[in-house]
Amino acid sequence: MKRVLLFVATNVAVLMVISVVMRVFGFDGYLTQNGLDYKALAVFSLLWGSVGSLISLAISKWMAKKTMGVQIIEQPGNKDEQWLVDTVKRQAKEAGIGMPEVGVFQSSSPNAFATGMKRNDALVAVSTGLLQSMNKDEVEAVLGHEVAHVANGDMITMALIQGVLNAFVIFFSRIIGYAIAAASRDERGGGYSMGSFIGTLIAQIVLGFVAAIIINWFSRWREFHADEGGAKLAGNQKMIDALKALQKSSKTEKLEGEFAAFGISGGQGTLAKLFSTHPPLEDRIAALEKAQYSNNAVIS
């Protein structure tokens, strides 16, 4: 639960910083000096709400390499590294995307993630724990799952949805703040009061949690589609076996920050479902067991 709260709190903190910046530079006063200008507010909200998520996406590969210590396999040093690169290359070709960078990061937890701003310029990384605890068929399925994320455009879609939700949070929190200002305006016609500013921040916190519930719901829905993609690229049974291997692991943990939504596993803790980026592993396994896929099918 701590990681989920940290993820939500980070996004809320970004919105609060935006609020402070807009107040310091007088943007809030501009929007309310002659009554609330809804059109101008909508433009400001969309602009400020999108900037953070798009910048985060643009530097996601760099952040992964720096913060998680992902080591890119530029020249395979052994047959295992060569197999990883060859497998991703084959899957990327079948999925119709450019060859992603392939990397490995140190972690005892069996996990993997994909990130990047473009489908043809992405990064697929796996943990040392995953390579040590799974056989090649299972690792192949995990790689297929991550390549499917890239092929489906999940990274840019998630960033756009987050930007739109941020815009709604900024927009409606300011409407609430303006309503507080209008209700508490004194006889001298005081403008944008400190009370309304505090009300705006509180509204952002509440609406930020609502936005997090929505984005995490979409993330869970998108995981089922990535499982389908992994099954098509590696084989249905291999994908099922990979998820069962994760289910048996006692070390599987959720990835940190923005990479949590793109990992193969969301963890085995008692996280509240509303704030979970991944569906329960048993639900994902059950969904695959109901479907029949061809090992050589290509993602449409």
Asked if residue 39 belongs to a domain, the reply is: no
Distance (Å, whole) CA 236 – CA 295: 7
DSSP letter string over 188-212? T---S-HHHHHHHHHHHHHHHHHHH
Residue 253 is a catalytic residue = no
- Flag whether 180 is in a domain: no
Q: Please report whether residue 172 resides in a domain.
A: no
Cα 199 → chain centroid? 28
Q: Residue 234 burial (CB < 10 Å; 0-12/13-18/19+)?
A: buried
Question: What span, in angstroms and rounded, lies between the C-alpha atoms of 81 and 84?
Answer: 5
Please pick, among 101, 138, 140, 146, the residue that the annotation labels catalytic: 146
What is the predicted pLDDT for the residue at 34? 55
Asked whether residue 284 is domain-assigned, the answer is: yes
Please state, in angstroms and rounded to a whole number, the distance separating the CA atoms of residues 131 and 136.
8
Digit-by-digit pLDDT tens for the chain (300 residues) are 333 344 445 555 655 666 666 666 555 555 555 566 666 777 777 777 777 777 878 888 888 888 889 999 999 999 999 999 999 999 999 999 999 999 999 998 899 999 988 889 999 999 999 999 999 999 999 999 999 999 999 888 888 888 888 888 888 887 787 777 767 665 444 445 666 777 777 888 888 888 888 888 888 889 999 999 999 999 999 999 999 999 887 544 555 554 554 455 554 444 457 777 788 899 999 999 988 544 444 443
* pLDDT at site 5: 44
State how far the Cα of 297 lies from the Cα of 52, in Å rounded to an integer. 37
Beta-ladder partners of 105: 127
Tokens for 15? Answer: 């919105």
pLDDT score at 193: 62
The single-letter code of the amino acid at 279 is P
Q: In the chain, how many domains are there?
A: 1
- Domain containing residue 93: CATH number: 3.30.2010.10
Assess if residue 48 is contained within a domain: no
Sheet hosting strand 101-105, strand order edge to edge: 71-72, 101-105, 121-127, 112-118
Residue 30 lies in a domain: no
Question: Can you state the angle between helices 281-289 and 194-234, rounded to 10 degrees?
Answer: 40
Establish if 193 belongs to a structural domain.
no
Domain span at residue 89?
A: 70-156+218-289
Question: What is the C-alpha separation between 183 and 177, in angstroms, rounded?
Answer: 10
Give 41-48 contacts, CB < 8 A, sequence gap 24+. 41/171, 41/174, 41/175, 42/167, 42/171, 44/170, 45/167, 45/168, 45/170, 45/171, 45/174, 46/163, 46/164, 46/167, 48/18, 48/22, 48/166, 48/167, 48/170
In a domain, residue 260? The reply is yes
